[in-house]
Amino acid sequence: MTPNPIRRVLSTLKSSSVRFLLSGGQACILYGAAEFSRDADVVVLLSDENLDALRQALSELDAEQLYVPALGPDVLRRGHACHFRCRRPEADGIRLDVMSVLRGCDPFPALYARRMTVDLPGLGDLPVLSLRDLVQSKKTQRDKDWGHIRRLVEVDYLARRREATDEAVAWWLAESRTPEHLIELAAAHPEAAARAASRPWLTGAVDQGAEAVERELLDEERRIRAEDRAYWQPLREELERMRREAR
């Protein structure tokens, strides 16, 4: 976790009683899958009371709106992000990105119920997207997100593989992007590999080898990137209309 500026942003959200979950690069840092980020990404509960609390926090942070759209329930409900730059001296320069809907993820109440809570010195309990929800949220068009996904699953696999549950094995088989780990898993758990409906090629992973597995993963990535582009296309068009109206 980046030291003081990010913590000031998060502590202000907490002291303002904002119901939120930390996501994005800062969440990846907490899971051991990233090294640095100057942004804070949060997912918030969409309610009038919570948005009022968020506006109070933004005021305390001297946060200025960076782009359209302006913060509001309608744009958040449709899946847009609202972007701010904090100008309070203790958090100067930190960008805060706010969303309420994440593509491919459950609504906020379900995400919050599955949250991980991290106790950070000087900050206390911090609500963070669960590992599985964070991985799902990272399935985007951005190159860096695919590196984060790979590292997030790698860290979890290497930490827990010796005492793996059936549920963990199924998740690693469905989400790992490391060919060597997938081959190892398929060899150790052939029945679980055969049940991985989203990756039928896992049944032959041991015989195919790492290069063939890597090709399958690249095909999968291309498909998911295309899905993300299709999801964001109408939202981008809407943003363009907002920009023209703002000018």
Asked if 121 and 175 sit in the same domain, the reply is no
CA-nearest of 63, 33, 60 to 23 is 33
Residue 150: domain span: 143-230
Contact yes or no for 196/176 (Cβ under 8 A): no
Is there a domain that residue 187 lies in? yes
Is there a domain that residue 235 lies in? no
SS3 for 126? strand
Q: Which of 137, 167, 192 is the last residue before a domain boundary? A: 137
CA-nearest of 5, 4, 3, 17 to 127 is 17
Is there a domain that residue 109 lies in? yes
Question: pLDDT category, 34, cuts 50, 70, 90?
Answer: confident
Q: How far is it, in rounded angstroms, from Cα 128 to Cα 28? A: 10
* In 110-184, beta strands by DSSP E: 116-120, 124-128
Asked if 88 and 183 sit in the same domain, the reply is no
Asked if 74 and 51 sit in the same domain, the reply is yes
Is there a domain that residue 163 lies in? yes
How many domains is the chain built from?
A: 2
For residue 11, what is the domain's CATH number?
3.30.460.40
Q: How far is it, in rounded angstroms, from Cα 32 to Cα 26? A: 10
Asked if 193 and 84 sit in the same domain, the reply is no
Asked if 39 and 117 sit in the same domain, the reply is yes
Asked if 101 and 10 sit in the same domain, the reply is yes
Percent of the chain with pLDDT over 70: 98
Is there a domain that residue 38 lies in? yes
Asked if 148 and 26 sit in the same domain, the reply is no
Residue 120: phi and psi, rounded to 5, are -105, 135
Is there a domain that residue 240 lies in? no
Q: What is the pLDDT of residues 206-229, one digit of tens each?
A: 999 999 999 999 999 999 999 999
Asked if 180 and 126 sit in the same domain, the reply is no
pLDDT, residue 1, reads: 43
* In the chain, beta strands by DSSP E: 20-23, 39-44, 64-65, 82-85, 95-99, 116-120, 124-128
Q: What is the pLDDT of residues 118-136, one digit of tens each?
A: 999 889 999 999 999 999 9
Q: How far is it, in rounded angstroms, from Cα 191 to Cα 107? A: 32
The pair of structure tokens assigned to 26 is 């800062």
Count the Cβ atoms, other than its own, within 10 Å of residue 203: 15
CA atoms within 13 A on the CB side of 12: 24
Is there a domain that residue 247 lies in? no
Q: How far is it, in rounded angstroms, from Cα 158 to Cα 174? A: 16
Supply the pTM of this predicted model.
0.94
Asked if 129 and 148 sit in the same domain, the reply is no
Asked if 82 and 155 sit in the same domain, the reply is no
In the block, which residue shows the tokens 């000031």? 8
Q: Verify cis geometry, omega within 30 degrees of 0, for the bond prior to 69.
A: yes
Asked if 133 and 147 sit in the same domain, the reply is no
Higher pLDDT, 38 or 152: 152
Asked if 103 and 199 sit in the same domain, the reply is no
